[in-house]
Amino acid sequence: MTGARVTTTAAELAGLLRSAEPPVVLDVRWALGDPHGRDHYTAGHVPGAVYVDLDNELAAPPSAEGGRHPLPDLADLQESARKWGVRTGRPVVVYDDLGNTAAARAWWLLRYAGVAEVTLLDGALDAWRAAGLSLETGAPGAQPEGDVVLRAGGLPVTDADGAAELATTGVLLDARAAERYRGEVEPVDPRAGHIPGAVSAPTGENLAADGTFLPPEVLRKRFGGKGAAENARIGVYCGSGVTAAHQIAALALAGYDAALFPGSWSAWSADPARPATKGDRP
């Protein structure tokens, strides 16, 4: 994936929306503990954007084995993508209102499923507002049906065994907040702590103060300090496989490919046979 474009600026998106063939724009308004994403979308969104329900369209039902946000069945994802208007060869731009930490799930899934031109609106909705661009309110009109055909395998994934192996022979990054990594708090999952050998790399540290991604050279230095290197085998997990996708986008900007552990800590901590470590050391 390295080399593929990851972001689109607000000015670029505004220009594309005025073109003869505008991209599909997806609004993935979601935050842990906030069930009102659709209401936020209705109150104001990028003109023409389609609301995407992360819990129901970007994930399968939760389970102990799969975690809180298992990957959706590919046929279900294809049905949703066509409903959003995704067509073969048509670019897609995704955003949220939280630094793209939720929107990156849609970015990752579509890339994983073979959609080549998917980018994140750099700076998310704040960048659109800061540019003085208008918002649209209310529910969207009917979207022309898409025709995209999805095929799994466009991006690498790993399971719990693979994550454990990466933690000892490669680089396994924990994208959760540092206090969750250390095991000081655990608001949603069965146990506190982290996968033994994993390195703390909070997702929020991928972003500048304005919510845009840090420059590639800065990200490269950041991840280099976590053990990333040329030809290194890298994996990423978070709480449930959502913000880890944002980490993979940041890694791509830095020039690194990485595998997602979709079940993440929510699946790992639900298995009593899996060990957990606390503290600030891997």
Tell me which residue of 184, 185, 152, 182 sits closest to 260, measured CA to CA: 152
Total of domains in the chain = 2
Residues 171 and 108 occupy one common structural domain = no
Residues 124 and 176 occupy one common structural domain = no
Q: Do residues 41 and 67 touch, judged by C-beta distance below 8 A?
A: no
The verdict on residue 200 lying in a domain is yes
| pLDDT tens column, 124-158 | 999 999 999 999 999 877 788 999 999 999 999 99
Residues 188 and 114 occupy one common structural domain = no
| pLDDT tens column, 158-196 | 999 999 999 999 999 999 999 999 999 999 999 999 999
The verdict on residue 147 lying in a domain is no
Quick one: pLDDT at residue 156?
A: 98
Residues 168 and 253 occupy one common structural domain = yes
Quick one: pLDDT at residue 1?
A: 62
Calpha distance 186→255 (Å, rounded) = 32
The verdict on residue 213 lying in a domain is yes
Q: Do residues 197 and 168 touch, judged by C-beta distance below 8 A?
A: yes
Quick one: pLDDT at residue 143?
A: 80
Residues 167 and 263 occupy one common structural domain = yes
3-class DSSP assignment, residue 93: strand
| pLDDT tens column, 21-43 | 999 999 999 988 888 999 999 99
Residues 164 and 261 occupy one common structural domain = yes
3-class DSSP assignment, residue 263: coil
pLDDT above 70 as % of the chain = 99
The verdict on residue 155 lying in a domain is no
The CATH number given to whatever domain includes residue 166 is 3.40.250.10
Ordered alpha helix ranges (H), 85-118: 103-112
Tell me which residue of 187, 162, 161, 164 sits closest to 176, measured CA to CA: 187
Quick one: pLDDT at residue 141?
A: 73
Neighbours of 231 (CB within 10 A): 6
Q: Please compute the mean of the pLDDT values over residues 267-277 and round it to a whole number.
A: 98
Residues 118 and 182 occupy one common structural domain = no
Residues 126 and 167 occupy one common structural domain = no
- What residues are labeled active site? 238
Domain range for 227 is: 160-268
Residues 172 and 261 occupy one common structural domain = yes
Give yes or no for residue 3 having a pLDDT over 70. no
| pLDDT tens column, 43-90 | 999 999 999 999 999 999 999 999 999 999 999 999 999 999 999 999
Tell me which residue of 144, 195, 191 sits closest to 172, measured CA to CA: 195
Quick one: pLDDT at residue 33?
A: 84
Q: Return phi, psi of residue 174, to 5°.
A: -100, 110
Residues 30 and 117 occupy one common structural domain = yes
The verdict on residue 20 lying in a domain is yes
The verdict on residue 273 lying in a domain is no
Residues 11 and 115 occupy one common structural domain = yes
| pLDDT tens column, 239-269 | 999 999 999 999 999 999 999 999 999 999 9
The verdict on residue 260 lying in a domain is yes
The verdict on residue 229 lying in a domain is yes
Residues 81 and 168 occupy one common structural domain = no
3-class DSSP assignment, residue 173: strand
